Structure formats: structure tokens, C-alpha cells
Amino acid sequence: MSRGLRVQQDMEKERETLQSWKERVGQELDRVVAFWTEHSHDREHGGFFTCLGRDGRMYDDLKYVWLQGRQVWMYCRLYRTFERFRHAELLDSAKAGGEFLLRYARVAPPGKKCAFVLTRDGRPVKVQRTIFSECFYTMAMNELWQVTGEVRYQSEAVEMMDQIILWVREDPSGLGRPRLPGAPTAEPMAVPMMLLSLVEQLGEADQELAGKYAELGDWCARRILQHVQRDGQAVLENVSEDGQELSGCLGRHQNPGHALEAGWFLLRHSTRKGDPELRAHVIEKFLLVPFRSGWDPDHGGLFYFQDADDLCPTQLEWAMKLWWPHNEAMIAFLMGYSDSGDPALLDLFYQVAEYAFRQFRDPEYGEWFGYLNREGKVALTIKGGPFKGCFHVPRCLAMCEQMLDALLSRPAPGACTPLAVPAL
């Protein structure tokens, strides 16, 4: 066989593999979305039930604000960017979820602080002293504006965003956390990550806002990059505000899935900035370093938490395999491959996707299991709960379908020309 023929056959084989994954991912996305539309809509009060058992049956009717905002966002994105999801049920449910948030999310309007969890009919049950309920509220409102064009949604998004920025960069006192003399001024990586994704979200369809938040985006990227520590050998979840390692468990805490998620946030940032050096740095430090340390060599899958000194973490669930780090890893590696053309990243995408489809998928009832033990056995049979809703699985599948589609549309598959960032 001539060398040219072999190369062509290899390319065709790769194309077939990409094509078959595109189909697998697309079909799975349909099944996952069907699970949530069938089981999660509260037709009486609006909003979504997320405490759903294996077969979709509701086991609690509490409404977690993170998950309300995320599902509104997800439905709008699917409606907006997938022809086959452009149907009224998705949009109407997203709008009903948005109205539920507008009416009930804030604990003491006109104050901006949102509850963490509400009763089915919208009374606040718990408030977290963090920014995340407000961030998912903002994401939801901006998407509703992008889909409907109604400016009241966009005003809500921008006003909340400005409050969040104030809390993070100027005065956190409104969050209600006491400042204690022994508490280190630790920055959890989640904060600049979350803000960076909001910067992207709000700038996506509004050039003026993109300009307004450009400096903030750079600040977020710098702050996230500060979490690369120990001569580039580790991403640490918490560092001091000036980028120093903190002492004790807090300082050594690692979350490989979170680092991988930060990785693809930064990949998109580097594409927006047109910065190939940053891209290479991010692929090495936020994709490969966390994967090398975080992938379980014995049973496969990503550990939930690790200690940078390889000591035993104190979190009981540290060795469990959670669904979302695998979703983030799939996105990160496929994006890394799309952006760089490095086939090693595509192989890692396949490795993670094979594990995830084999271990988390539920062929019987749809959606994915969320929580496996270290060995990969289902430890919790729930499909949704206080922290799992209609978000990580469909976001991953939708983004991967779009990226696979884009890869297959390239004139020469496997060629190294970086893609534009896909729409979702």
C-alpha cells in the first residue's frame, strides 16, 4: 500500500470515528433533553423540579436557584442554536422559568441577593453567602433576552452583573459573610471562572457590553492563571488574592474537573484575544496537568478532589466519580483539539467520552447518573438533585455535537487550522 493511500485511509477512518461520535452525541442529547421536558416542568408555578429519581419521578419539590437559572439558560441556548430544538415547549418553559426567577429569586427586593433554594411556590428556604445564585440568574436573563429580544430581561441581567462585580471587586459585605481575623483572604477559582463566563455570555450579542466588560475579562483570566502553582505542576483551587499558595488543606485542595472547565473557559478567551501562546499554556496547564494527576489509573474516571501533596483529602467523596468533571473534560479536550489540531487531545476526548458513556449513561430511563463510587458503580441512583439539573450533560453534548460538526465540515479533516469558537 502506498504511503499516500495509507494516509488517506487513516483520514477516512478518523472521519468515520468523528462521524459516529457526532451521531452518538446527538442522539444522547435528544434523550437527555426529553428526560427534562418530560419530568421537570412545573406547569402550575413555573420553574423546574430537579429532584428526580432514576426514572424521573420527583422525590422533592424544592427549587434550587442555580438549577432554575441553568435550565432556563440551557433551553434558550438549545432553542436558539439547534434547528431541531426550536419548538414552543422549550421556549415557553424557559420563559416560565424566567418569570419564576424574576418573581421569587430575590430574597428582599429591590435588594439583589438571591436565595439558594425556594419552595415550589417561591418562598426562600436558604440563602448562600456567595455570588453563584446571582450568576446563574444573570446567565438565564441574558439568554432570555437573546431569544426573545425583550429588553426587560437584558436590564435584569446587566443590573445583576453590575451588583456581582461590585461584590467581587469592591465590597463583599452585602453577601453577609463576616470578615474573621483568622480567615485567609483566599480566592476560590470558581469566582473568576464564573465571572469570565458571564463576560463571554454578556458580550456575545452586544458589542457595547463586550467593550464594557473587556477589562474584567482580562482580570478574570489573570486571576484564574494565578491558580497554576508549584512551578506549573499543579492547579490549586484556592490561592491568596496576590497569587500565593495558602497553607493547609485549603491551599492544597485540587478539583481536576474544575481545572478542566477553567481550561475551556480560557481556551475561548484565548481565541477571542487571538493569543496562541496563551492557548498552548492553557492546554498544558489546565487540560493535561489536571488530567494526568486526576485520572484514576486503576478504575478510570476523574477523581473528584485531590491533595497537591498526595495526602488524603478530608472530603468523604474525594475518590468518587462525578458526572460533571467528565462533561467538562469532554468539552475541554475536543475544544483543545479543534483549536490546536493536536491528535493527542482527540484521543483524550475519546478516552473520557468512552468512560462517560459507559459508566454514567442510563440507557433505560435517560439522563446520566451523577455519582459513582471509585470503582465506577452507581452510588446514587438520582438523576437530579440539589446540585444536578438540566445543565452539565446537555451543555456538554450540545457543545460536542457542534464541535464535531465543525470538525467534519472542515475541508481536510485532521488539518490544523484552528476553528472559530462555536456558537454554544
The correct pick among 37, 53, 163, 212 for binding a copy of itself (CB under 8 A) is 53
298 binds a copy of itself (CB under 8 A): no
Site string for a copy of itself, 110-149 (x = CB under 8 A): -----x--xx--xxxxxx----------------------
Closest CA to 147 of 217, 203, 213, 74: 74
Helix (H) or strand (E) holding 125: strand 124-126
Smallest separation (angstroms) from a copy of itself to the CB of 371: 6
Cα–Cα distance for residue pair 138/89, rounded to 1 Å: 22
Q: Which is nearer to a copy of itself, 155 or 314 (CB)?
A: 314
Instruction: Give the DSSP H or E segment for 329.
Output: helix 323-340
CA angle 69, 213, 79 (to 5 degrees): 35
Identified binder of a copy of itself from the candidate list 381, 408, 415, 418, rule CB under 8 A: 381
What mask, x for binding a copy of itself by CB under 8 A, covers residues 234 to 253? -------------xxx----
Stretch that binds a copy of itself, among 40-48, 292-300, 346-354, 377-385 (CB under 8 A): 377-385
Please give the Cα distance from 374 to 396 (Å, whole number).
22
Selected binder of a copy of itself within 11, 374, 406, 424 (CB under 8 A):
374
Position 319 contacts a copy of itself (CB under 8 A): yes
b/e code 287-301 from CB counts within 10 Å (16+ = b): bbbbbebbbeeebbb
Spatial distance between the Cα atoms of 378 and 31, rounded to a whole number of angstroms: 20
Q: Which three cell numbers stand for residue 211?
A: 467593550
**Distance from C-alpha of 46 to C-alpha of 93, rounded to nearest angstrom:** 7
313 binds a copy of itself (CB under 8 A): yes
Number of chain residues interacting with a copy of itself (CB under 8 A): 44
Nearer to a copy of itself, 313 or 422 (CB): 313
Segment 151 to 190, residues that bind a copy of itself, using CB under 8 A = 178, 180-184
Question: Minimum CB separation from a copy of itself for residue 114, in Å?
Answer: 12
- Counting contacts by CB under 8 A, is residue 101 touching a copy of itself? no
Q: Is 205 in the site for a copy of itself (CB under 8 A)?
A: no
Q: How far is CA 71 from CA 68, 173, 276, in A?
A: 5, 29, 33
Task: Write down the least CB distance from residue 387 to a copy of itself, Å.
Answer: 9
Return d(Cα 44, Cα 240) in angstroms, integer: 46
- Where do the H-state alpha helices sit in 170-255? 190-203, 207-212, 214-225, 248-252
8-state DSSP, 116 = S
Among 16, 23, 55, 61, binds a copy of itself (CB under 8 A): 61
Residue numbers at the binding site for a copy of itself (CB under 8 A): 51, 53-54, 59-62, 107, 115, 118-119, 122-127, 178, 180-184, 247-249, 311-314, 316-320, 371, 373-374, 379-382, 385-386
